[in-house]
A and B are shown apart, each in its own frame.
Chain A
Amino acid sequence: MGPRILLIEDDGRLAEMVSEYLGEAGFRVAVAAEGRAGLERLTREPYDALVLDLMLPDMDGLEVCRQLRLKSDIPVLMLTARGEAMDRVVGLEIGADDYLPKPFEPRELLARLRAILRRRQPGGPGNALRFGRLEIDRDARVARLDGAERGLTGHQFTLLVALAEKAGRVLSRNALMDLVKGEPLDAFDRSIDVHISRIRAAIEDDPKRPRRILTVRGAGYVFAKQQD
């Protein structure tokens, strides 16, 4: 039996398609078209996670989330429209676990939903970095793409975390060496480029055209903030 998801979305056709898509991925999805109806269902029936649209006809998603948090800690994934920076910040502050801007890539919805479900499991990742479809679980020392684990050695994972924690900044090879200097030196000497190419092979959709770990000629590497 897959996880039970409640989707609160007022656009009926979109709700139907999301249900179908998540259903195929093994989720059991129930739909509510309004905020109040959704809150009622959540008190009546047990759900594993809530996918919540920000704009609803009777009350906005932030209010639904606020009321829900008074009595439940169910994982919440909020659907916003791109560019609503304030809503994103407020949404996370009032207790949403993650947010996804519309129009989203269906695979990303799936990956994020799985991630917030894992986070709530005992021993689940509490210390993860997320970049689109990529999740870097620092506690389990595992990288996942679309929820599927990718094979990385311990050294490579350390290097990946060092890059990801400085996402959006150019890191020279020397700076990278400094960041991983607790590791045995022979693992990170001049072969750093080789390690990077192996990490790319593991986490890039097309390692020949990387979108996550980028090379800046003459300057170093950048871990992209926006990847998908």
Chain B
Amino acid sequence: MRRLYLRIYLAVLVSLAVFAVCSGLVWRQFGDAGPAGHAFEVAATLAQNILPAAGAPKAEQQAALEKLAGNLRADVALFAADRSLLATVGEQLTLPSAGRDRGGWLRHWGNAPAGTIHLPDGRWLVARVPRDRWHPGFPLFFPLVPIAFAVGVGAYPVVRRLTARLERLQAGVESLGAGDLSARVKVEGHDEVARLAESFNRAAGRIEELVGAHKSLLAHASHELRTPLTRIRMAVELMKESADSKRKRDVEQGIAELDALIDEILLASRLDVVKGREADEEVDLLALASEECSRYEEAELEGQPITVRGDPRLLRRMMRNLLENARRHGAPPIEVRVSRAAGTAEIRVSDHGPGIPDAEREDVFRPFRRFAGARDNPGGGLGLALVRQIARRHGGDARYLRREPSGSCFVASLDASAPDNAS
């Protein structure tokens, strides 16, 4: 059963039923003890006064018993102190077991209970109300049924109210998880659920504050870091011919690399904060690959036109990072292939470098992971981590394959199940 309130409610009903059954059993076992037992003693004294003495002839005792049975409209039997039958009226009744020395109820499976009275002179009087009459405890049943019904019905709204608060709390948690950082829940009452709601609201407030600060940092960091870069770029331009043209190109390249690094760091942070795609349009992957390959003399592109739906800026960054990784850590030529396979678009970027040891093939996708021999190569070590993040955001993944006889092959797959790719 998946609904908590139903489980709690069912537990209440089962508890009621168990209580009723246990009460019945206890009543059955000990119902003739205490005050009820005293009633049997009084009845014994009265019966002895009505019946002839123990030593009276059997016929006299039989006659007295018949009179008594007529008054009670019950089956009655009288036993001597030695447990022999003295007289009986109606259906044959049995004596209580030998270990019993006082009056009480005698129950036989399938029969109505029989009352046994131990007379002060040692005789036993046993009487049973015939089956066609109700059990003496039966009238008790009538008030108990509506009480049980009232408890059962009354427990439902109580249980429902308690779990409805939990459900509202759950809805709040889900809204927060889905990205609505302003989600809060109403604090009702002063119990544990209310304290849980307060704790949730505090935690949600803190998360909203932190994410807000993070976003603000991202928004400002991009501007604050790029303004000085623009200044340097402008200064290089103003140097004109007076400056060494090679040095000028070096500075320009440095600016471009720093700009790309800022872009990557901010993008990685943004991908952590923003779930889902900020843009979703049709992107011609082959055209995109062609644009990015045109930046690299050593890149060779082949493939077929494939359109995917995605964020063009992210896909461009993914393509650029794959190429940049091959240029920095591999050796030319860089072979780029764009192809389609079973609802996915694949971009394969291979190089002729030394490749990556098997033990490290997953590590290359970790941010800022550096490897032996990579120290001299520039680059923040974020590139391949971003490739994987972007591929996953587009319904695919990124993986490394060893290229035979040597070299690396990085494969980024993207979901290409849009209708226009069915052909």
Enumerate chain A interface residues (CB-CB to B < 8 A): 11, 13-14, 17-18, 20-21, 54-55, 81-86, 101-107, 168-170, 209-211, 214, 216-219, 222, 224-226
Q: Interface 1/0s, chain B 83-101, versus A by CB < 8 A?
A: 0000000000000000000
Is the CB–CB distance between B297 and A209 below 8 Å?
yes
Q: Which of B225, B235, B297 makes the CB contact (< 8 A) with A17? A: B235
Is the CB–CB distance between B291 and A222 below 8 Å?
yes
Pair count A-B, CB < 8 A: 107
Q: Which of A54, A55, A103, A222 makes the CB contact (< 8 A) with B233? A: A103
Is the CB–CB distance between B237 and A21 below 8 Å?
yes
Q: Collect the chain B residues with CB atoms within 8 Å of residue A217's CB.
A: 301-302
- Further 4 A-B residue pairs, CB within 8 A, beyond A216-B290, A216-B303: A85-B278, A102-B229, A168-B287, A170-B284
Q: Interface 1/0s, chain B 218-262, versus A by CB < 8 A?
A: 011011011111111111011000000000000000010001000
Contacts A/B (CB < 8 Å), 28 sampled: A11-B227, A11-B228, A11-B231, A14-B227, A14-B231, A18-B234, A21-B238, A54-B223, A55-B223, A82-B222, A83-B222, A83-B263, A83-B270, A84-B222, A84-B223, A86-B278, A102-B226, A103-B232, A103-B233, A105-B233, A107-B237, A168-B288, A168-B291, A169-B287, A216-B287, A218-B302, A222-B290, A225-B291
Q: Collect the chain A residues with CB atoms within 8 Å of residue B234's CB.
A: 14, 17-18, 21, 106
Is the CB–CB distance between A216 and B286 below 8 Å?
yes
State whether the Cβ of B331 lies closer than 8 Å to any Cβ in chain A.
no
Is the CB–CB distance between B227 and A214 below 8 Å?
no
Q: Which of B230, B290, B303 makes the CB contact (< 8 A) with A214? A: B290
Top 8 nearest A-B pairs (CB, nearest first) are A81-B222, A103-B229, A102-B226, A103-B230, A17-B234, A106-B237, A222-B287, A81-B223
Bound-complex Cα distance A209 to B299 (A): 12
Is the CB–CB distance between A210 and B223 below 8 Å?
no
State whether the Cβ of B43 lies closer than 8 Å to any Cβ in chain A.
no
- Greatest chain A CB density within 10 A among B219, B230, B297 is at B230
State whether the Cβ of B402 lies closer than 8 Å to any Cβ in chain A.
no
State whether the Cβ of B294 lies closer than 8 Å to any Cβ in chain A.
yes
Bound-complex Cα distance A226 to B53 (A): 125
B363 to A: closest C-beta gap in Å: 28
Is the CB–CB distance between A226 and B291 below 8 Å?
yes
Residue of B nearest to A106 (CB): B237
A54 to B: closest C-beta gap in Å: 7
Q: Which of A85, A219, A224 makes the CB contact (< 8 A) with B313? A: A85
Is the CB–CB distance between B301 and A102 below 8 Å?
no
Is the CB–CB distance between B291 and A104 below 8 Å?
no
Bound-complex Cα distance A48 to B254 (A): 35
Bound-complex Cα distance A203 to B303 (A): 27
State whether the Cβ of B112 lies closer than 8 Å to any Cβ in chain A.
no
Bound-complex Cα distance A14 to B297 (A): 34
Bound-complex Cα distance A83 to B416 (A): 25
Q: Collect the chain A residues with CB atoms within 8 Å of residue B401's CB.
A: none
State whether the Cβ of B327 lies closer than 8 Å to any Cβ in chain A.
no
Bound-complex Cα distance A226 to B219 (A): 23
Is the CB–CB distance between A84 and B219 below 8 Å?
yes
Q: Collect the chain A residues with CB atoms within 8 Å of residue B232's CB.
A: 103
Q: Which of B227, B255, B304 makes the CB contact (< 8 A) with A219? A: B304
Is the CB–CB distance between B301 and A170 below 8 Å?
no
State whether the Cβ of B418 lies closer than 8 Å to any Cβ in chain A.
no
Bound-complex Cα distance A169 to B297 (A): 21
Bound-complex Cα distance A121 to B232 (A): 33
Is the CB–CB distance between B286 and A214 below 8 Å?
no
Bound-complex Cα distance A107 to B237 (A): 9
A65 to B: closest C-beta gap in Å: 16
A106-B234, A216-B290, A222-B287 given; A83·B266 CB < 8 A: yes
A21-B237, A83-B267, A170-B286 given; A102·B230 CB < 8 A: yes
Q: Which of B226, B283, B302, B312 makes the CB contact (< 8 A) with A82? A: B226
Q: Interface 1/0s, chain B 271-314, versus A by CB < 8 A?
A: 00000001100011011101100110100011111000000110
Residue of A nearest to B227 (CB): A11
Is the CB–CB distance between B294 and A55 below 8 Å?
no
Q: Collect the chain B residues with CB atoms within 8 Å of residue A84's CB.
A: 219, 222-223
A108 to B: closest C-beta gap in Å: 11
Bound-complex Cα distance A54 to B219 (A): 11
Is the CB–CB distance between A224 and B294 below 8 Å?
yes
Residue of B nearest to A211 (CB): B294
Is the CB–CB distance between B229 and A170 below 8 Å?
no
B380 to A: closest C-beta gap in Å: 16
Q: Collect the chain A residues with CB atoms within 8 Å of residue B295's CB.
A: 211
- Greatest chain B CB density within 10 A among A81, A84, A85, A210 is at A81
Q: Collect the chain A residues with CB atoms within 8 Å of residue B160's CB.
A: none
Is the CB–CB distance between B226 and A168 below 8 Å?
no
Bound-complex Cα distance A85 to B312 (A): 12
Q: Collect the chain A residues with CB atoms within 8 Å of residue B228's CB.
A: 11
Q: Collect the chain B residues with CB atoms within 8 Å of residue A226's CB.
A: 291, 316
Q: Which of A20, A54, A55, A101 makes the CB contact (< 8 A) with B238? A: A20
Q: Collect the chain B residues with CB atoms within 8 Å of residue A224's CB.
A: 290-291, 294
Residue of A nearest to B284 (CB): A169
Is the CB–CB distance between B291 and A106 below 8 Å?
no
- Greatest chain B CB density within 10 A among A55, A168, A214, A218 is at A168
Q: Collect the chain A residues with CB atoms within 8 Å of residue B230's CB.
A: 14, 102-104
Bound-complex Cα distance A218 to B301 (A): 10
Bound-complex Cα distance A102 to B237 (A): 15
